[in-house]
């Protein structure tokens, strides 16, 4: 199956700092989604972004499918941004619904 | 209103027992999934159903049996539980297009501990 690598694996920030999380994938994709898992374990869909750029408040994401990567930007980070960020991709030609997850970036934001 | 709800949220049981987890979605989606999250937080798909039809069946022991009575419900039954089955099990749902899958929405997870 397709390989999905996220970096960095861990990130520690002071409140107010900006950060960029990266997701690289090994093959063509027709679907890419970013998720946030909060410290209580809840998984929230942040972006559905197979290509292009989207913004939602302090978060934005860009996917460059031709170069096989996606970036998640967090600006003016807050303690509530802490948790694990996952990207997941769907391979062109694979069974519909088969999303492959990266191992995540663990983000800790200190006050 | 909870969009994807699963019960129970916590399960503690002995090895060898059988247990079930139930999932319901009120988003009108046609596809539902079971994912397993291990102790290192790795998420892996186990099963998917589209309109009650099994679509994805990953390499999962046949002690795990999903059942979808209708497109809004997907249950997971586990027989003869083993220590290695301890994990968090997430239900999810999405629309399925012809080319790719829509946004995935997860339930709150069911933490299974096998003693």
DSSP string, A74-104: E-S--GGG-EEEEEEEEETTSPTT-EEE---
* Of the partner residues B44, B55, B109, the one whose CB lies closest to the CB of residue A97: B55
pLDDT, tens only, A82-98 = 999 999 999 877 777 78
* Of the partner residues B31, B101, B109, the one whose CB lies closest to the CB of residue A90: B101
Q: What are phi and psi of B104, to 5 degrees?
A: -95, 130
Indicate if the pLDDT at residue B1 is higher than 80. Answer: no
Say if the Cβ atoms of A98 and B41 lie within 8 Å: no
Q: What are phi and psi of A81, to 5 degrees?
A: -80, -10
Indicate if the pLDDT at residue B74 is higher than 90. Answer: yes
Percent of chain B with pLDDT over 70: 97
Q: Write out chain B residues lying below 8 Å of A102, CB-based.
A: none
Average pLDDT over residues A72-78: 97
Q: Which of A34, A43, A87 to mutate to test the interface with B (most CBs of B within 10 A)?
A: A43
Q: Do B45 and B56 touch, CB atoms closer than 8 A?
A: yes
pLDDT at A63: 97
Indicate if the pLDDT at residue A80 is higher than 90. Answer: yes
Indicate if the pLDDT at residue A21 is higher than 90. Answer: yes
pLDDT, tens only, B15-60 = 999 999 999 999 999 999 999 999 999 999 999 999 888 988 887 8
Percent of chain A with pLDDT over 70: 100
- Residue A101: closest CA among chain B residues belongs to which residue? B43
- Residue A46: closest CA among chain B residues belongs to which residue? B103
Taking a contact as any Cβ pair under 8 Å apart, which residues of chain A between 36 and 95 contact chain B?
37, 41-45, 48, 50, 84, 86, 88, 90, 95
- How many helices (H) does chain B have, and how many strands (E)? 0, 11
pLDDT at A13: 96
pLDDT at A7: 98
Whether residue B102 lies within 8 A of chain A, CB to CB, comes out as yes
Q: Do A61 and A72 touch, CB atoms closer than 8 A?
A: yes
Of B89, B81, B94, the C-alpha closest to B109 is B89
Distance CA B71, CA B26 (A): 10
- How many helices (H) does chain A have, and how many strands (E)? 0, 11
Indicate if the pLDDT at residue A45 is higher than 80. Answer: yes
Q: Write out chain B residues lying below 8 Å of A95, CB-based.
A: 55-56
* Of the partner residues A44, A97, A101, the one whose CB lies closest to the CB of residue B101: A97
Mean of pLDDT over chain A:
95
């Amino acid at each position: 199956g397709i390989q999905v690598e996220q970096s960095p694996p861990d990130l520690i920030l002071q409140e107010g700092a900006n950060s960029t999380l990266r997701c690289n994938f090994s093959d063509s994709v027709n679907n890419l989604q970013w998720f946030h898992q909060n410290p209580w374990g809840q998984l929230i869909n942040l972006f559905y972004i197979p290509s292009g750029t989207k913004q939602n408040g302090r978060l934005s994401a860009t996917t460059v499918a031709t170069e096989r990567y996606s970036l998640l930007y967090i600006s003016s980070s807050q303690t509530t941004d802490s948790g694990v960020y996952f990207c997941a991709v769907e391979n062109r030609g694979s069974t519909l619904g088969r999303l492959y997850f990266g191992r995540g970036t663990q983000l800790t934001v200190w006050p | 209103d909870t969009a994807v709800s699963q019960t129970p949220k916590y399960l503690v049981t002995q090895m060898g027992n059988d247990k079930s987890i139930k999932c319901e979605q009120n988003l009108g989606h046609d596809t539902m999934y079971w994912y397993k999250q291990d102790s290192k937080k790795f998420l892996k798909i186990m099963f998917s159903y589209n309109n009650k039809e099994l679509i994805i069946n990953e390499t999962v022991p046949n002690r795990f049996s999903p059942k979808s009575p209708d497109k809004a419900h997907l249950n997971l039954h586990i027989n003869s539980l083993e220590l290695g089955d301890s994990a968090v099990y997430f239900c999810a749902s999405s629309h399925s297009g012809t080319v790719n899958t829509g946004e995935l929405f997860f339930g709150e997870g069911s933490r299974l501990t096998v003693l």
